[in-house]
Structure 1
Amino acid sequence: MTAIAGEGPVVTRLGSGGPWEARYGYCRVVRAGSLAITAGCTSTVDGRVVHVGDPAAQTVQALRIGLDALAEVGAGPGDVVRTRMYVTDRSHADEVGRAHNAVFGAVRPVATMVVVAGLIDPEHLVEVELEAWLG
């Protein structure tokens, strides 16, 4: 992760160097006091979509990327209090939900799953956001 200047010592902003961050002006993860939030995470690794056509594997990869980002600011899976999942096809909901359960079944954060018309890359089937509380 790469540190990005914030508004003072209370806010930490880290970028992953992903292909869209600099272009669109955002960070992978921001920690503001006790709250840590990730940007949308997909199954993009080294600029390439991995697990093309597999919504469950894309979910696991996206969650791993989000959890790795949260770890960079001191948050672990047990600190996650909210997740959001965006899926491009309603038929993927059960696979995505089961993959989410495999990671967060013991934690049980609040969660939202929304069907969307599409994501930034047509090979993306799912995008996730994570929020953690370190209070």
Structure 2
Amino acid sequence: MPEAIFSDKAPKPNGNYSHVIRAGGLLHVCGWMGDVPETGDIIEGGVEAQTEQAMKNIGACLAAAGSSLDKIVRRRIYTMDMAYLPTIQEVTKRYLSEPWPVSTAVQISGLAKKGALVEIEVIAEA
């Protein structure tokens, strides 16, 4: 049976979803934009600041599940503009290390929160 996990260091869900679902030996982390934990608003400072905040939120969720960023095996990046990808990659490189997770990047036409430029979701080992 899948287990839902929530972090008190990440923004509260604004819908009917879990921060993390533990299923088998994997942790499926919800997609994070640059949501500030205290307010749920998108952080100011553009794609670099939003990516930084998304990675912090992912780290908080993985920690709540007893895991860490170095156990990420799969990453999906959704961006409003592929021109942001080099910046997104540079920021995530500060949080991830080799062996790099497999990754997909997709340009999309909109995200759930106004002003969001990037959303990242991951799968990690438990």
Shift of 1:107: 4.2
Is residue 6–residue 64 contact of structure 2 (8 Å, CA) maintained in 1?
no
Shift of 1:51: 2.5
Q: Is it true that 1:117 corresponds to 2:105 in the alignment? A: no
Q: Which runs of 5+ in 2 are unaligned?
A: none
Give the paired residue count: 121
Percent identity for Structure 1 against Structure 2: 29
Bigger relative contact order (CA 8 A; separation at least 6): 2
Q: Is it true that 1:89 corresponds to 2:115 in the alignment? A: no
Q: Distance in 2 between matches of 1:95 and 1:62?
A: 13
Question: Secondary structure of the equivalent of 2:27?
Answer: strand
Q: Which runs of 5+ in 1 are unaligned?
A: 1-6
Shift of 1:19: 4.8
Is residue 70–residue 97 contact of structure 2 (8 Å, CA) maintained in 1?
no
In the other structure, the counterpart of 1:39 is: 30
Q: Distance in 2 between matches of 1:68 and 1:130?
A: 13
Q: Is it true that 1:77 corresponds to 2:74 in the alignment? A: no
User: Given the two structures, how large is their TM-score scaled by the length of structure 2?
Assistant: 0.86
Is residue 37–residue 70 contact of structure 1 (8 Å, CA) maintained in 2?
no
Name which one, 1 or 2, has greater alpha-carbon Rg.
1
User: Given the two structures, how large is their TM-score scaled by the length of structure 1?
Assistant: 0.81
